[in-house]
Structures are given as structure tokens and as C-alpha cells.
Structure 1
Amino acid sequence: MSYNLLKGKRGIIFGALNDQSIAWKVAERAVEEGATITLSNTAVAVRMGQVSELGQKLNCEVIPADATSLEDLENVFKKSMEVLGGKIDFVLHSIGMSPNVRKGRDYDDLNYDFLNKTLDISAISFHKMLQAAKKQDAIAEEGSVLALTYIAAQRTFCGYNDMADAKSLLESIARSFGYIYGRSSKVRVNTISQSPTMTTAGQGVSGMDKLFHFAEKLSPLGNADADDCANYCMVMFSDLTKKVTMQNLYHDGGFSSVGMSDDAIEVFEKGLE
């Protein structure tokens, strides 16, 4: 159901890969809510994934870009303003990748070149994105920028590895840049801490299936899925949340506030038998 929350707004969605992606769901919902958008991902992802298919479906342009390249990001904002006919009202950063995770390196045996890539791709790209946009005055006054994060930025989850460090940095960037962008242009910058979600990237994390089921048992409302996250993003992109900024917003069915649940205790006790 559409509520026209984004009617007349222009947006950029970074990170859609396939129909399992949260960014993919956000793009679909944004158009459904009345927005016009552009999509961006790496050239390799555009060639190998289904982003072009999504672009055709939503009648929006796909602009390939390496999110670690300032030049590429500047081009995305410049071209998006040309294509969409004005400044950008909302942006989603849904980008994350760890070579250490992909290569199975443990946290106490990291490859530091890989770590630098993890931080650059998963967190510093957010700073570059915001910096590129601000220098071009590309985001409209009272615009909204979101980045997806995870509670491993605050708590230790075995298997999440150096992505936890990246998410911590990502959230810090949202606060620091949120203050600057808020003061200058009333642009909101927030992060959404999402439930474990079975995206292509999420499934690459060791033990993700077990973590998914654990969170489901612990959360009073159960895990929030990609569609739920897309709905939440619509509210955060809309004019209904003009005074919300510099926040890390938990969207996890209550997981982040629960110490232990009856269901989790029952499963734990069965494991001890």
C-alpha cells in the first residue's frame, strides 16, 4: 500500500544487488511512495548482478560507481541531479564488504590490507559520499541520509569479525557529519541497526543462520526482514521525521533491549540435556 510519503522527492539508492538486498526493497518502496530515483553500485555488481533489471522495472537510471572513489561519487550526485531534475531529497548507503570475512580470516589473525579495504568500503565510503554531496550542495534542505548498520557495533558477535569495527566507524561518521550537515542545511543523517537479514552479503558472515534463529527467539516481535526495513526507511526519508538526526535507530524487533527470553532459555536448556 502506498501513502505517497515520498511524492515529488528525488533519491539515490546505493547498494542494490539482487532481490534479496535491502537496498533493492528500499528502491521499490521509494518509487511506490511517489519518488523518482537513481541506482548506484560498482561496475562489476552492475554487470554480474540484477541492478539493470531493477532499473528497467522502476524506470530509473543506473549509475555505476566505486563507493571508495570520490570522483565516482561526485559523478553520481552530479548525474543524478541532471537526470532527476533537481537536488536530492534522500540517500541510502547500503554498502558493506569484508575481504577478511570472505577469506575466512579470524579476528585475531587479520590481514591488515584487507582491514583497510573493509573500513574503506563499509564505512569511509559513507564519509566520502556525504562529503561529495555537501561540496556540490547536492542534497536539498531538510533532506534525509540513511546508512544500514548492525548491533555488532555495540556488542560482540562471534563471526562478525572486522565488520563490527566498520559499523562502529560508520555510526560515528553519521553523528559527526550529521551535526555539520544539520547545522548547514538541516540535512538529517541517521543509521538503522537492522535485524540479521538473509541478504547475499549477510549470508557470507560465519554462523549467520544460527545468529538469525537466535535473534528470532530473543526478539519479542521477531526479526525485521528486508521489507520491514524498507518501510522504516520510507518513514525516515519522509517529512514525518524532520527532527530526527545523528541517531542509531534499532530496527530489530526489540532484540537490542532484551537480555534473555523464555524461548531462548528453553533452547539453551535443551542444548544442555
Structure 2
Amino acid sequence: MPYNLLKGKRGLIFGALNDKSIAWKVAERAREEGAELVLTNTPVSIRMGNIDELAQRCGAVVIPADATSVEDLENLVTKGMEHLGGKFDFVLHSIGMSPNVRKGRTYDDLDYDYYHKTVDISAISFHKVIQTCRKFDAIEEWGSVVALTYIAAQRTLYGYNDMADAKAMLESIARSFGYIYGREKNIRINTVSQSPTPTTAGSGVMGLENLMDFAERMSPLGNATAAECADYIITLFSDLTRKVTMQNLYHDGGYSSMGMSMQAMHIYNEGLEYRDVKNDKSRRRNK
């Protein structure tokens, strides 16, 4: 149900590919809440995805841009403001990709050219976006910038690979620029640490289905969906959260505060019992 939380506001959304994308859900919700939008992604992603369908649904314009290219970003920001007739009130950075993950390279056998691309695409692009917006004074006072991250920035999750390093850097950029932009223009910058989510990019993570199952069993509220994440991000774009900045905000059903759930412990004990029975049978056969 819409609450008109973003009535009269203008937004720039990076990363909508298809209807599995969190950025896609955010764009739909932002439009429902009254915002006008500019959507962007790389030219290749635009050809691969369905962003034009989203743009038609939201009455938005699509401006292609590679977020690792300052030249592309400058063109995006200037044309975006021209189209909307003013500065942005909010910006969503929903960008992440690891060539090492895609190629199945493990963390102890990274290709360093791929590693550089991972960090540039998934983290440094966030710095470039914010720096470009600041250069062109493109965000309204009391505006909001949000980037999507994951708990692997703080905890080791096998299979998340070099993306964990990129997310840790992303969160640091939010804090560093949050101070500068907050002090100068009252602009807030936060990251949202979402539950494991089966987006097109997320599906490339090794063992995602098992990870989602584990997180579901561990989280008292269960995993947060992409649509629920969009709802949360809308509140961060709104005027209701004007004094929230430089934070990494967990949106994961409580997973980040858990050590061991009763359900997970039960399954763990069942596994131990099965192992003990199996070992006992093996010892008997070997006598």
C-alpha cells in the first residue's frame, strides 16, 4: 500500500536488470510512492535484461552508463537532471559482479586482473557515483544515497569469494563519504546488508541455495525477500530517516545477530548422530 513517502522526489537507480533484481523492485516501489525516476545500467546489461519494460511501467527514462567510467557517469548525471528538471533526492547503487566467481576461481587462486575488475565494478564504482554527484551538485540537501551490501563483508562465507572484499570496501566508502556529504549538504549515505537473495547476480554465488536454506533456518524472521528489501530502502529514501547516515543496516530477518538457532542445532545434532551410527557400523564390519 502506497503512503506517498516519495511524493515530489526524484531518483536515480543503478542496476535494474530484470524482475528478480532488487533495484527493479525498488524502482517499482519508488514510483508507487510518488517519485520520478531515471534508470541506468551498462549498455550490455540493458540489451540482456528488460529494463525498458520497467521504464515503461514507471514512466521513467533509461540512460545507459558504465558505472566504472567517470565520463559515462558525468553524462548520466547531467542528462538525468535535465530530464527530471532538477537534482536527485535519492540514489540507489545496486551493482556487483565478480569475474572470479563467474569463472569458478576460488579465493586462494584468484586471477588478479579479475580481482581488480571485481573491486572496480562492485565498490569503486560507488565512490565514482558519489564523487560525480558531488562534483555536479546533483543531490538535493537532505538527500539519500543507498548501496546494497552483504554480511560477507564482516564474516567469512565460503563461496562469496572476492566479492566479500569489495563489499567491505563499499561499506567503508559509505562511511567516509557519509561524513563529507553529511557535513556539507546534510546528505546521508548508508548501506543495506540484505539476506541472500536469488537475483541474477546472486545466483552466481557458489552454493547459494544451501546458503539461503541455512540463513532461513537461522533467522528468527526468515530471509528477507527482494520486495521486502525494496520496502526498507524506500524508508531510507524518505524524510522519515533524515538523521540516519554512515550506517550498515542489516535487513536479514535477524540473521546477523544469531549464533545458533534451535532448528539449526537440531539438524546439526541429527548429522552427528548419523555420523556416529555410520562410524559404529564401519567399526563392526572391520572387526
Fold conserved between structures, TM > 0.5: yes
TM-score range for the pair, normalised by the shorter chain length = over 0.9
Distance 2:250 2:47 in 1: 33
Tell me which amino acid in the other structure corresponds to 2:41. Answer: N
| CA deviation after TM superposition for structure 1 residue 157, in Å | 0.1
The aligned counterpart of 1:180 is 180
**Residue 279 (structure 2) pairs with residue 261 (structure 1):** no
Name the counterpart of 1:19: 19
Corresponding position of 2:271: 271
**1:103 Cα shift?**
0.3
Specify the SS of the correspondent of 1:6.
coil
After TM superposition, the structure 1 = structure 2 runs for residues 1-273 of structure 1, keeping only pairs within 5 Å, are 1-272=1-272, 273=274
Letter in 1 for 2:102: R
**Residues in 1 aligned to 2:266 and 2:16: alpha-carbon distance in whole angstroms:** 38
Q: In structure 2, what is the Cα distance between the partners aligned to 1:48 and 1:79?
A: 23
Letter in 2 for 1:177: F
Cα distance in 1 for partners of 2:271, 2:32 equals 45
Deviation at 1:194, TM superposition (A): 0.3
Paired residues in the alignment total 273
* Structure 2 letter corresponding to 1:140: E
Measured after TM superposition, the shift of residue 267 of structure 1 is 1.6
Deviation at 1:150, TM superposition (A): 0.2
User: Partners of 1:193 and 1:148 in 2: how far apart?
Assistant: 6
| C-alpha distance in 2 between matches for 1:12 and 1:68 | 16
C-alpha deviation, 1:80, in angstroms = 1.0
**Letter matched to residue 116 of structure 2:** N
Name 2:280's counterpart in structure 1.
none
Q: Give unpaired runs (5+ residues) of structure 2.
A: 275-287
Deviations 1:113-155 (A, max 9, x none): 0000000000000000000000000000000000000000000
What CA distance in whole angstroms lies between the structure 2 residues aligned with 1:264 and 1:66?
42
Q: Deviations over 1:2-59 (max 9, x none)?
A: 0000000000110000000000000000000000001000001111110111111111
* Distance in 2, Cα, partners of 1:46 & 1:194: 24
Q: Which amino acid aligns with 1:14?
A: F
Structure 1 unaligned regions, length at least 5: none
Measured in 1, the distance between the counterparts of 2:186 and 2:73 equals 21
Q: Partner letter of residue 217 of structure 2?
A: K
* TM-score between the two structures when normalised by the length of structure 1: 0.99
| Percentage of identical aligned residues | 70
State the Cα distance separating 1:271 from its structure 2 match.
2.4
Task: Give the TM-score of the pair, scaled to structure 2.
Answer: 0.94
Secondary structure at 2:37 match in 1:
strand
> Matched residue of 2:61: which SS?
coil
Q: Which protein is bigger by CA-based radius of gyration?
A: 2
Measure how far apart 1:270 and its partner are.
2.3
AA of the residue aligned to 2:267: V
Q: CA deviation at 1:77?
A: 1.1
C-alpha displacement at 1:74, in angstroms?
1.2
Counterpart amino acid of residue 65 in structure 1? A
The whole-number CA distance in structure 1 between the counterparts of 2:27 and 2:203 is 21
